[in-house]
């Protein structure tokens, strides 16, 4: 029994391997890039529009609304990063209805790479928004004693992000594989249906958590003057 699609190797030459994770990741990337290119190449601004344009507009405006709800003021600036995360994880998890497909998100390498992207992007957005000094100062909030704990939380939440996605998707495929040996016909299908729901929820969670982290890194200095004003007024 395979723990992750890393162990399914299609082609090998020396130490260069093509495993299922790489193949399916690139396949998904190809499908998504080519698909959105062909759809967006003939956009229309009139009332007559294709159904594919409609579905893309629904997805993009939905993601924008969600980002704004979580607390980022300029959702369009973060749409490229957060939308990519959501769409890639969502499509990767939804494709499990295709027979023979193994979700690349069920491999710890993929989820670790995605979590590392978040780990790098959060300080970058924070520094861009409030400068290096102010951003570094947020690590010593509320007191300097909290500095090591803030750094630990930065690392542990990245780890948690990776393991959460990996564990959920891996457990879905594992349960289907185990059920196939016990009750072959109906129950695996039900578990795959549950896996679709879990996959979408996990894609949503991953992008919402990334949004929350970015919001926490960029928000600080906007709120602090307000609080100071309030305390000044009260005094």
Partner 1 sequence: MALDNYTTIIAVASIVTSGITIGIGVIGPAIGEGRSVATALSSMAQQPDASATITRTLFVGLAMIESLAIYCFVVSMILIFANPFWNHALT
> Which residue in the set 31, 55, 97, 160 belongs to the binding site for partner 1 (CB under 8 A)?
160
User: Smallest distance from the beta carbon of 159 to partner 1, in angstroms?
Assistant: 10
The contacts of residue 88 (CB under 8 Å, 6+ apart) are 28, 29, 32, 114
Q: Which is nearer to partner 1, 2 or 77 (CB)?
A: 2
The three-class DSSP label of residue 12 is strand
Residue 29 binds partner 1 (CB under 8 A): no
Q: How far is Cα 109 from Cα 112, in angstroms, rounded to an integer?
A: 5
> Which residue in the set 25, 168, 173, 218 belongs to the binding site for partner 1 (CB under 8 A)?
168
Residue 69 binds partner 1 (CB under 8 A): yes
Residue 64 binds partner 1 (CB under 8 A): no
> Which residue in the set 39, 56, 94, 208 belongs to the binding site for partner 1 (CB under 8 A)?
208
Q: Which is nearer to partner 1, 129 or 170 (CB)?
A: 170
On whether the CB atoms of residues 199 and 103 are closer than 8 A, the answer is yes
On whether the CB atoms of residues 37 and 182 are closer than 8 A, the answer is no
> Which residue in the set 64, 123, 204, 219 belongs to the binding site for partner 1 (CB under 8 A)?
204
Alpha-carbon dihedral 3, 94, 114, 23, rounded to 10 degrees: 70
User: Smallest distance from the beta carbon of 215 to partner 1, in angstroms?
Assistant: 13
The three-class DSSP label of residue 47 is coil
Residue 1 binds partner 1 (CB under 8 A): yes
Stretch in the footprint of partner 1 (CB under 8 A) among 22-30, 96-104, 122-130, 204-212: 204-212
> Which residue in the set 101, 138, 205, 220 belongs to the binding site for partner 1 (CB under 8 A)?
205
Q: How many CA atoms are closer than 13 Å to the CA of 203, on its beta-carbon side?
A: 22
Residue 81 binds partner 1 (CB under 8 A): no
On whether the CB atoms of residues 96 and 195 are closer than 8 A, the answer is yes
DSSP code, position 6: G
What share of residues in the chain are helix, strand, coil (percent, to 5)?
A: 80, 5, 15
Q: With CB under 8 A as the rule, give the number of residues binding partner 1.
A: 18
> Which residue in the set 118, 170, 176, 191 belongs to the binding site for partner 1 (CB under 8 A)?
170
Q: How far is Cα 214 from Cα 82, in angstroms, rounded to an integer?
A: 10
Residue 79 binds partner 1 (CB under 8 A): no
Stretch in the footprint of partner 1 (CB under 8 A) among 16-24, 140-148, 202-210, 215-223: 202-210
The contacts of residue 154 (CB under 8 Å, 6+ apart) are 119
What is the CB neighbour count within 10 angstroms for residue 125? 20
Q: Which spans of this chain sit near partner 1 (rule: CB under 8 A)? A: 1, 3, 69, 160, 163-164, 166-168, 170-171, 174, 201-202, 204-205, 208-209
């Amino acid at each position: 029994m395979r723990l992750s699609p890393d162990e399914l190797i299609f082609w090998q030459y020396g130490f260069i391997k093509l495993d299922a994770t790489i193949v399916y990741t690139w396949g998904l990337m190809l499908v998504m890039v080519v698909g959105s290119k062909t759809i967006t190449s003939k956009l229309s601004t009139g009332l007559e529009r294709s159904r594919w344009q409609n579905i893309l507009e629904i997805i993009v405006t939905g993601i924008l609304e969600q980002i704004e709800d979580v607390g980022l003021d300029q959702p369009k600036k973060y749409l490229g990063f957060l939308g990519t995360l959501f769409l890639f994880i969502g499509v990767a998890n939804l494709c499990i209805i295709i027979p023979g497909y193994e979700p690349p998100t069920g491999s710890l390498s993929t989820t670790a790479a995605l979590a590392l992207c978040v780990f790098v992007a959060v300080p970058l957005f924070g520094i861009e928004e409030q400068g290096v000094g102010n951003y570094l100062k947020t690590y010593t909030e509320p007191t300097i004693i909290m500095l090591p704990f803030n750094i630990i939380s930065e690392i542990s939440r990245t780890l948690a992000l990776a393991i959460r996605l990996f564990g959920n998707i891996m457990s879905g495929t594992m349960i289907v594989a185990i059920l196939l040996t016990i009750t072959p016909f109906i129950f695996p299908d039900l578990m795959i249906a549950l896996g679709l729901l879990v996959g979408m929820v996990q894609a949503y969670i991953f992008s919402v958590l990334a949004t929350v982290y970015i919001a926490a890194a960029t928000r600080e200095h906007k709120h602090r003057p307000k609080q100071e004003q309030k305390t000044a007024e009260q005094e």
